[in-house]
Amino acid sequence: NAGVTQTPKFQVLKTGQSMTLQCAQDMNHEYMSWYRQDPGMGLRLIHYSVGAGITDQGEVPNGYNVSRSTTEDFPLRLLSAAPSQTSVYFCASSVTGGFRGGYTFGSGTRLTVV
Amino acid sequence: GQQLNQSPQSMFIQEGEDVSMNCTSSSIFNTWLWYKQDPGEGPVLLIALYKAGELTSNGRLTAQFGITRKDSFLNISASIPSDVGIYFCAGQAGGTSYGKLTFGQGTILTVHP
């Protein structure tokens, strides 16, 4: 049981490049979310999903796309990277969406946009 | 959107001391969660609270769900060096916000041996 797996762990992009951050969970959790963490600002919700085929925007969705074709995977796409997207990105999953159990987080992807 | 104010921002304490931190919200939450983050890792759930007034313990950690549903408190007793890290509160409102967590800014805890 690997929990929540994020790849890559580190990435450097040039401004304007696109890429996909991968997230997979093996706990059969319905709820999955993407957060970004910036110094002094806690974690901010980018996009989330309450099940396969269902996604919705969080607090800071601009510049990011998501899709949820399977229960296990929830990739995050950066369409055209900007320096403001330099951050640490966390994927999380939950069986109940935070009620009765909370979210399990991956170990993060550290992204630098130059 | 919803805002969570977490305080203090940082704490420097001696091993063996007790620690208190809190979060306040401008709006009501149905669930309060407390997480700890070690360097280079994702947050790990410490305590979850589900109803107003609830007091829950996990070893040396005790957390409370405020009766107004707009605040929560975390206490750590008899701190040890491995308590070092960043502590986050997170709240979840109901209705259309179900499944979406709002996080506080974090409390950085340093424990001196």
Tell me the C-alpha distance between B34 and B41, whole Å. Answer: 16
Range list of β-strands (E), chain A: 4-7, 10-13, 19-25, 31-37, 43-51, 54-57, 64-66, 76-78, 87-94, 104-105, 109-113
Residue that is written with structure tokens 């969705």 in the block:
A61
B40: which chain A residues are within 8 Å (Cβ-Cβ)?
107-108
Nearest CA in chain B to A43: B103
Count of CB atoms within 10 A of residue B9's CB? 12
Low-confidence ranges of chain A (pLDDT < 50): none
Test B102 with A101 for CB contact under 8 angstroms.
no
Report the b/e string of B32-58 with b at 16+ CB within 10 A: bbbbbbeeeebbebbbbbeebebebee
Is the distance from CB of A88 to CB of A110 less than 8 angstroms?
Answer: yes
Q: What is the mean pLDDT of residues B68-97?
A: 93
Using CA atoms of A90, B8, B86, A87 in order, give the dihedral in degrees to the nearest 10. Answer: 40
Phi, psi (deg, nearest 5) at residue B82:
-75, -5
- Percent of chain B past pLDDT 70, that is, above it, reads 98
Test A31 with B102 for CB contact under 8 angstroms.
no
Phi, psi (deg, nearest 5) at residue A4:
-105, 120
Candidates B26, B32, B30; CA nearest to B46 is B32
Residue A89 contacts B, CB cutoff 8 Å? no
Residue A4 contacts B, CB cutoff 8 Å? yes
- Residue B90 predicted with pLDDT over 60: yes
**What tens digit of pLDDT does each residue of B51-77 get?**
999 999 999 999 999 999 999 999 999
Query: What integer pLDDT is reported at residue A42 of this predicted model?
Result: 87
Residue that is written with structure tokens 């229960």 in the block:
A71
Query: What integer pLDDT is reported at residue B2 of this predicted model?
Result: 61
Is the distance from CB of B66 to CB of B54 less than 8 angstroms?
Answer: no
Query: What integer pLDDT is reported at residue B1 of this predicted model?
Result: 55
The shortest C-alpha distance from A98 to chain B (Å) reads 6
The shortest C-alpha distance from A14 to chain B (Å) reads 23
Query: What integer pLDDT is reported at residue A40 of this predicted model?
Result: 77
Instruction: State chain B's mean pLDDT as an integer.
Output: 93
* Residue type for position B29: F
A101: which chain B residues are within 8 Å (Cβ-Cβ)?
48
Count of CB atoms within 10 A of residue B72's CB? 28
